[in-house]
Amino acid sequence: MTAHAISARVGRVTRRACCVGAVALTGALVAGCGSSSAPVTPTTPAQKFSAGLAALTQGKDQQAATYFKELVAANPRDSNAEYNLGLAEAYLNEPAAAEAAYQRAIAIDPKMTSALYNLADLQEAHDPQLAIATLRRVLAIDPNNTSAQFNLGYWLEQRGKIAEGEALLGKAIAADPSLRSRVPAGIKLPASAG
């Protein structure tokens, strides 16, 4: 993948982005909160999930992966733990493991667009056509997902599907004008784009 392609992406598995699944455990306390200054080892699923999210945001990716692996082992139907395990594996530069975790999350929750989006981003490196198909799935579920519109538009444009690609880029930029700054030189946008 060229540097040009990387600079054009939007919403890539970015370091310390919000993690999906926190809503599944609203009200859960983060381990260690309270008056005690000694670290508390998370024991409940809610504590492990919170600790895993905290580890991801702090850059402790191996620790996060460990927590999410424990959660998945205890509950193989936990799509949020699988998704966040995928994030941790991606941050650890383990794309095959990240893809597998995202695939498992999608198998549990076929409408988890965040997992589909991140999966497409990983697939693009080795199977661009599969990545395009995966982003089309994201847009079938969430037609207004500007990040998916932008990346799909860019990938299509790069593969010679100029009209469709530019139309999607234009749609994404019309909805989110800040994306205009990420359009590489040489890509023509429709006049209606932002």
Domain residues for the domain of 91 are 23-32+40-109
Look-up: residue for tokens 């193989």?
76
82 and 140 share one domain: no
Percent of the chain predicted with pLDDT > 70: 77
* Spatial distance between the Cα atoms of 121 and 168, rounded to a whole number of angstroms: 17
Give the model confidence (pLDDT) of 1-60 as tens digits. 332 333 344 444 444 444 444 333 323 333 334 444 556 788 999 999 999 999 999 999
**Is residue 183 very low, low, confident or very high in pLDDT (cuts 50, 70, 90)?**
confident
Give the mean model confidence (pLDDT) for residues 123-141: 97
Measured CA to CA, the distance from residue 33 to residue 16 in angstroms comes to 21
Same domain membership, residue 97 and residue 28: yes
C-alpha to C-alpha distance for 135 and 21, rounded to whole angstroms: 21
CATH of the domain at 173: 1.25.40.10
Q: Into how many domains does the chain fold?
A: 2
**Tell me, what's the pLDDT at 189?**
72
Helices (H), 113-161: 113-123, 128-141, 146-158
- Whole-angstrom distance, CA of residue 117 vs CA of residue 138: 7
Whole-number pLDDT of residue 14: 44
Averaged pLDDT, 168-180: 94
**Does 173 lie in the same domain as 95?**
no
Same domain, 120 and 88: no
CA dist., res. 83 & res. 90, Å (int): 11
Nearest to 87 by CA among 115, 49, 116: 115
pTM of the model: 0.79
Please write the tens of the pLDDT for every residue from 80-104: 999 999 999 999 999 999 999 999 9
- Supply the pLDDT for residue 188: 73
pLDDT band per the 50, 70, 90 thresholds, residue 190? low
The end-to-end CA distance of the chain, in Å, is 28
pLDDT at 194: 53
Query: Using 50, 70 and 90 to split pLDDT, how confident is the model at 187?
Result: confident
Query: What is the phi/psi pair of residue 45, to 5°?
Result: -55, -40
Instruction: Name which of 187, 169, 188 is nearest 179 in CA terms.
Output: 169
